[in-house]
A and B are shown apart, each in its own frame.
Chain A
């Protein structure tokens, strides 16, 4: 078990390192460079000044040297200094990560809290009009991109109800109501596809379990339908749904980039959005490492919890 966790962590580190290298290289393929973005428009800039700025940012070194330096520093928890704000990337992330984690968690809770009951309902009322309409809702939820849903929500709430969420971020400790009001719409937009996926998966999984032999055994014992369903069928049908949650987290993290920007939430997502625009390489790379670490950790936790609900799963 411990051996398994250690191995998974090492694999995770390898995955993060590979993703970092990949992102590092693709960033450099984007046209435009940071020095010109920062200085080119200033009148009377000399080539010497541009070179000096590039040297100050460490961009005069060969690419491989830059990459190795970043990886080496990142391993000790140092992601360098932001090209833009001149602050350590680590402290910027420390400030913004909790905001994104809150948003992501809210999105995950929404997808589970809505997806599970809807899936159970659809299975329980199989082939009814309710099941059919839930099917439509699910397919729509899976097909609509989350940023588009976010835009629709803002636009139509403003048009129909002349209401828009607060545009200045308040931390939960400062003003909980304002904080939650601002987070609610992006969290909903991020959670809908997860909700739809969970509902669909749970429906088919539960229908399959209800036809299985052990459910018949439970009925033959004289158990009421409530016990059959809640104690035995639902728990068994949740096993495949559970693995969906790990995948969800990836989608949610990716979705924050645009949704945080739309809703003016100063989290990791909007930070990545701005950093890419400004070619602020250390910030983008720092964010990638952190998102990678969150994703890998969540999936490890999901896999470990798997063993808690299903005793057949052994870690080796």
Chain B
């Protein structure tokens, strides 16, 4: 892969203190993002993906990094003080949030908010900053950018507000852009435009991107690599094309199977993953996915699977790989992602079928 990663998240633990004591939302997560690389973090709600993204910039509200390192360019951000952290935020690493409707200050013009982002890190005059703001608005595809400077957020649509958020994020030409479900709150046509814009600007600014999403379609479109989260852990990671075509972890396979496909899904019932992500407080013993896994057997409730290194720079956290088995999961054939997973499981003792369930 990339010889020198830009961002290295190394055994990250994030803890939230609650009335009933601390709860671990992220339990030892590791992944890297190379320069100019796009890495997608996927998983269901509550899998810890957004918390991880916020932890990189230490913007956790009520939570704290309780272990591990977040190295950016070799420097551990987790150990930086507030002052040093402020120099990184918006400057080296910028962030775009999920809900553009509430992410801009309603009392200030968008011009003010872009200029502010710029002048926090660059010694430029207000006038020069305004010129740069016009340029940024133009780049994010805002019509009539000069006049738009004076607009307030409530005068813009959701898509336009997200464009403004992107302009703010790019103001200081960051080397890493963290986008936390940037299109979740937008409707589908706008979503496509915003993704395309992000992708385009990412190339133009030569910035790396950590994209948090629960949308496999988005992943397929723009990510170089994908990191799959479940229950506060990484369960699988690898190059996007390979992971989507040939998932190694049953959870990834089930996620992919749950995507509706025009060719196959018309009559078939869409296979959902049964159950819900367990609460952080009562994670199951053994593999965290075992109660919902169609391929689980006894060992899965007893043994905590490590992340197995697989060929092709891939990893997977499943006991199916224990005996050196490479592709243990038989994935739904791609490109048409059909509903059925072929029966798999450990050799000899797996009469489990996957037809219902997954």
Contact = CB atoms under 8 A, between A and B. Distances in A.
A220 B106 contact: no
A227 B115 CA distance: 14
Interface of A: 211-214, 216-225, 227, 231-232, 235-236, 239, 309-312
B86 interface: yes
B87 A217 contact: no
Contacts of B108: 232
22 contacts: A211-B61, A212-B102, A214-B105, A214-B106, A217-B103, A217-B104, A218-B116, A219-B59, A220-B57, A220-B95, A221-B117, A221-B120, A222-B86, A222-B87, A223-B90, A225-B82, A232-B105, A232-B108, A236-B105, A310-B107, A311-B109, A312-B152
Contact of A311 (B102, B106, B165): B106
B168 interface: yes
A41 to B, nearest CB: 64
B218 interface: no
Contacts of A311: 106-107, 109, 152, 154
Nearest to A310: B107
Contacts, number: 75
Given A221-B120, A221-B168, A236-B106, 19 more contacts: A212-B102, A213-B99, A213-B102, A214-B102, A216-B59, A219-B59, A220-B57, A220-B90, A221-B90, A221-B94, A221-B116, A221-B117, A222-B89, A222-B121, A223-B120, A224-B86, A227-B120, A232-B105, A235-B107
A310 to B, nearest CB: 6
A216 to B, nearest CB: 6
- 10 tightest A-B contacts by CB? A222-B90, A222-B89, A221-B90, A213-B102, A311-B152, A220-B95, A214-B105, A221-B117, A213-B103, A222-B86
A217 B61 CA distance: 12
A309 B107 contact: yes
Contact of A214 (B91, B94, B95, B103): B103
A308 to B, nearest CB: 10
B89 A219 contact: yes
Contacts of B103: 213-214, 216-217
A232 B88 CA distance: 21
A276 to B, nearest CB: 45
Nearest to B112: A231
